[in-house]
A and B are shown apart, each in its own frame.
Chain A
Amino acid sequence: MTDVASRRDAGERPAPPERVVTLTVNGRSYALRMDTRVTLLDALRDRLGLVGTKKGCDQGACGACTVHLDGRRVLACLTLAAQAEGRAITTIEGISGTDGPHPVQQAFMEHDGFQCGFCTPGQIMSAVALMAEGRAGSDEEIREFMSGNLCRCGAYPNIVAAIREAATRGGHDARL
């Protein structure tokens, strides 16, 4: 600790490495000049204004920042924006259809699968991916594979009910 601090004090700070990163988010492309150390989460929130993706810990422990990279769920706080270059990034802002909410969003509303709503975008992004992964076969399975998304309000039973319904109703609908 002391060594690091004293090195910092000595002013040995190289200029932050910057470059242009091109991100494809919800089907749109953005070229952003930024520090290569910026996380995908901060790029989405601070550079693109897509604040639906939430920061709950910034340490990969709560799931609030869950987004999809090429359809698979990742934690945006543990992903560098530069790593997402050339891949399809989907956020909560990108999953509603033109004809209304995604079936998972609708099921969350019907089953009251949230309270304060802060973890909800991450829960929904996880739930959508979970069904694509084929992990929504039983309540037990849903519980297990949704356990990376903390909900401090404790809406878990309603989240399970919402996913169960969306999975049952939607089957293997292409949108799921």
Chain B
Amino acid sequence: MSTVESRPRIGAGVNRVDGPRKVTGTAPYPMDFSVPGQAYGALVQSTVAAGRIVRMHTEAAEGAPGVITVITHENAPKVGTGPVTVLGASPPPPLRDDRVVHHGQHIAFVVAETPEQATAAARLVRADYEATEPLLDLQDPRAEQLVDPWGTDTSRGDSAAALESAEVTLRATYTTADNTNNPLGLFATLAAWEGETLTVHDTSQWPSMVRTCLAMVFGIPESSVRVLVPYVGGGFGAGLRAWPHVILTAMAARMIKRPVKLVLTRPQMFTSVGHRPSGVQWLSVGATRDGELVALDHRSLSSLSMEDNDYEPFAWASSFAYRCPNVTTQDRQARLNVAVPTSMRAPAEAQGNFALESALDELAHSLRMDPLELRLRNHTDVDPRNGLPWSGKALLECYEVGARRFGWSDRNPEPRSMRDGNWLVGYGMASALFPYFAQPCAAQATVNRDGSALVRSAATDIGTGTYTVMAQLAAEELGLSLDLVRFDLGDSDMPNAMMAGGSGLTGALGNAVHDACRRLVRSFAELACGDADSPLLGFSPDDVECTDGKVHPVGRPHLGESYADILARHGLSELTANGNSTPPVATELGMSLAGAYGAKFVEVRVDADLGLLRVARVVSVIDGGRILNEKTARSQIIGGTVGGIGMALFEDTVTDPRTGRIANGTFADYLVAVNADVPEMDVVFVGEPDRGTATGTKGVGEVGLVGIAPAIANAVYHATGKRLRELPITLDALL
């Protein structure tokens, strides 16, 4: 059979297999589904951030046209709690009691015959509150702080002593704003019960988990719940939870014995489905005069809601990003009266890498050293935590190729030295990584009598290209042309898949698809090799491969026969095999699992008088291991870069410091990068297939974003001489 080494390092950039549906508007997203007899839900959200509800006034809503029911904490059935996952505890179920812990908390759910009636009636629901003073300031001493909530704090050597004795030290504080995921697709849930069986269309990046959660919440077997999401409409992390509104919709459907559909409004997307939490980071760096790091102390404090978990260890990756003998990293979270934060594209790394790569730029300037040279000097090919080699790390190649393509050597190192008319020109760079992550995955592969293949798993394609790259991978393993292979997903009745998150799905699912396809080929080989009518008779099933639609002895395609022939002769309509993957263990491999790396080079232009800031060009060189599809992988890096530009320049979810209300919860007020904000981009993939996994992929969904914000901030310093340690960087800071 084929091996990793014989495969192309960069797979063919074929068009997305779901492209025709997406460009014709026929791809069905959760909000596009309807079932006969469905009613419509509308949320009522709290208008205070802390306190308790004294009384709910629902009479007007109950009497409004078309209203079927109004659910509040006073009449909601008691339900169970969802599972604890790798992301922490499930969000607490809705309408449990009279407590309010953030502005915009769901306090009632109105169900009516039409969406207009539900929305109109929801506005008639009022609540009397006993409001208390909300905790909204990250550094409020009254806020409970969670110390090392993820067990990720690290310490090696003696960073305090090393800082004390270092030839050069730098101490700086960096802050990053709350950002809101805001996928374009409004989150929607359509829940329908048939007896004790629940079918849900839901905007989710993890249907297997939503199924588990709903089964636990309603006390029914998992086999009685089906979650469907063939097309997501974007997520960027917002779809990694079974949110309270999902439970509310299913609860309402059960109560009224009719299907219920809910589509969130854009303002509700700011309070209901997570956001990237704001944070403060304190960096202390010690180095020798020639730029060798001797100490690194990286601490963070980020915001958390009152009752939820959010995996967000900003500082953790600083413990293995560079070679440095004395390192301390510590992460804390402060519980505030804010809506629950959650993963948003490159969780923790987006923020942590901004602080680290800004600090290194500051250090380089204080040493009068090329920032790129500083990175090279502290590069490590082994994991500094355990001394193991990385399973794949082509970061040096990223630096080299990136610097060349960008023209880094043309840079005049002096800040405010480069100019084009009235534009101050600045070059900046940053290193990027996104750590390895995987969870168990399963897949099933079938070859049908007509010779076509169907491979499936309860995964999602949030825009990353899962439909396409898994079909490509299966076609390769099965020796079939791509048009004969279909990959199906988005249905929790299919074999369990991990979330589309943490840049982990392509690798973990790819390995499961790889396993399923190999087992399937093996089944065909065993049938054929023991069959007197087969040209494969007498060959060992171990020495069989598949090319051009034929199963044949290795290297001897003329002795092959097609899947269809084998099935026909044995009177079978299909053969099916199941495959699994589990994350490899570093100590068993003798390697540390590397994750993706990248080097980012950015040119900015700042108007010398007006402070206007434009990103003029970006070069991203990425080590993503084996790339399954050059086109969709490149799109991931482009999209991540756009997200990074948004984080650096625009995105800032503003919470009113007195009321806790989000003050800019619309697309008119919350700025994201638009087409005119985004320049030409150069994206290059380097490196080799990762040695730690069967398929050699690393996952590139997040590494495209990481490093963009610090590269921009560093370029702004180079252009203007102003060091900006707070995101987003807005015009007023440059005047």
Contacts and interface: CB of A to CB of B under 8 A. Distances in A.
Interface string A32-65: 0001011000100110001111111111111010
Contacts of B675: 142-144, 146-147, 149, 151, 156, 159-160
Contacts of A93: 24-26
B16 A112 contact: yes
Contacts of A118: 29, 183-185, 231, 233-234
Chain A residues touching B, majority SS: loop
Interface string B255-280: 00000000101100000000000000
A13 B117 CA distance: 12
Interface string B659-703: 000000011100011111110110000000000000000000000
Given A61-B668, A157-B680, A109 B23 contact: yes
B615 to A, nearest CB: 12
Contact of A150 (B235, B265, B672): B672
Contacts of B234: 115-116, 118, 152-153
B451 interface: no
A55 B32 CA distance: 10
A158 B15 contact: no
A51 B184 contact: no
Among A54, A91, A109, A156, the most chain B Cβ lie within 10 Å of the Cβ of A156
Among B15, B19, B60, B668, the most chain A Cβ lie within 10 Å of the Cβ of B19
A35 B116 CA distance: 10
A81 B618 CA distance: 43
Nearest to A52: B25
Contact of B678 (A46, A114, A153, A154): A154
A11 B681 CA distance: 58
A101 to B, nearest CB: 6
Contact of B635 (A5, A59, A143, A155): A155
B116 A158 contact: no
Interface stretch (B214-222, B246-254, B640-648): B640-648
B375 interface: no
Contact of A154 (B25, B27, B266, B673): B673
Among A38, A143, A148, the most chain B Cβ lie within 10 Å of the Cβ of A143
B487 interface: no
A61 B666 contact: yes
Contact of A51 (B28, B124, B236, B667): B28
A16 B643 CA distance: 43
B184 A152 contact: yes
Range of interface residues on B (Cβ < 8 Å): 35 or more
A58 B265 contact: yes
B631 interface: yes
Interface in B25-66: 25-29, 31-32, 60, 63-65
A57 B635 CA distance: 24
Given A116-B183, A120-B22, A158 B29 contact: no
Nearest to A125: B25
A12 B720 CA distance: 61
Contact of B60 (A8, A149, A153): A8
B337 interface: no
A131 interface: no
Interface string A112-132: 101111111100100000000
B26 A116 contact: no
Nearest to A53: B25
Contacts of B236: 152
B463 to A, nearest CB: 3
A46 B642 contact: no
Interface string A82-116: 00000000011100100001000100111010111
Contact of B25 (A51, A61, A109, A156): A51
Range of interface residues on A (Cβ < 8 Å): 35 or more
Nearest to B669: A61
Contacts of A115: 234, 462-465, 635-636, 639
A66 to B, nearest CB: 11
A109 B638 contact: no
A9 interface: yes
Among B64, B234, B236, B640, the most chain A Cβ lie within 10 Å of the Cβ of B234
Contacts of B22: 114, 117, 120
Contact of B667 (A9, A57, A110, A147): A57
B124 A9 contact: yes
A5 B182 CA distance: 30
B222 to A, nearest CB: 27
Contacts of A159: 675
B497 interface: no
A140 to B, nearest CB: 8
A124 B23 CA distance: 8
A165 to B, nearest CB: 14
B443 interface: no
Interface in B621-646: 631-632, 634-636, 638-643
A112 B15 contact: yes
Contact of B266 (A5, A56, A157, A158): A56
A99 B163 CA distance: 70
Contacts of A52: 24-26
Nearest to A124: B23
A110 B15 contact: yes
B153 interface: no
Contacts of A155: 635, 638-639
B667 A150 contact: yes
Nearest to B23: A105
Contacts of B440: none
A176 B185 CA distance: 28
Contacts of B186: 55-57
Contact of B24 (A16, A57, A92, A160): A92
A158 B631 CA distance: 10
Contacts of A56: 184-186, 266, 667
B82 to A, nearest CB: 25
Contacts of B681: 157
A116 B24 contact: no
B65 to A, nearest CB: 8
B127 to A, nearest CB: 12
Interface string A133-148: 0000000001110111
Contact of A58 (B266, B634, B642, B673): B266
B20 A101 contact: yes
A101 B22 CA distance: 12
Contacts of A91: 25
A9 B63 CA distance: 10
- In the A-B complex, the 6 residue pairs with the smallest Cβ-Cβ separation, listed nearest first, are A52-B25, A154-B642, A115-B463, A117-B22, A116-B463, A154-B639
Given A62-B667, A154-B640, 17 more contacts: A35-B116, A37-B116, A45-B32, A52-B24, A59-B667, A61-B266, A101-B23, A115-B636, A116-B231, A118-B183, A118-B184, A146-B675, A152-B183, A154-B642, A154-B673, A156-B678, A158-B638
16 contacts: A5-B123, A13-B64, A54-B25, A56-B185, A57-B186, A64-B184, A92-B24, A112-B15, A115-B635, A118-B233, A119-B184, A121-B23, A143-B675, A150-B184, A153-B184, A154-B640
Interface of B: 15-16, 18-29, 31-32, 60, 63-65, 115-116, 123-124, 126, 182-186, 231-236, 263, 265-266, 462-465, 631-632, 634-636, 638-643, 666-668, 672-678, 680-681
Interface of A: 5, 8-9, 11, 13, 16, 35, 37-38, 42, 45-46, 50-62, 64, 91-93, 96, 101, 105, 108-110, 112, 114-121, 124, 142-144, 146-160
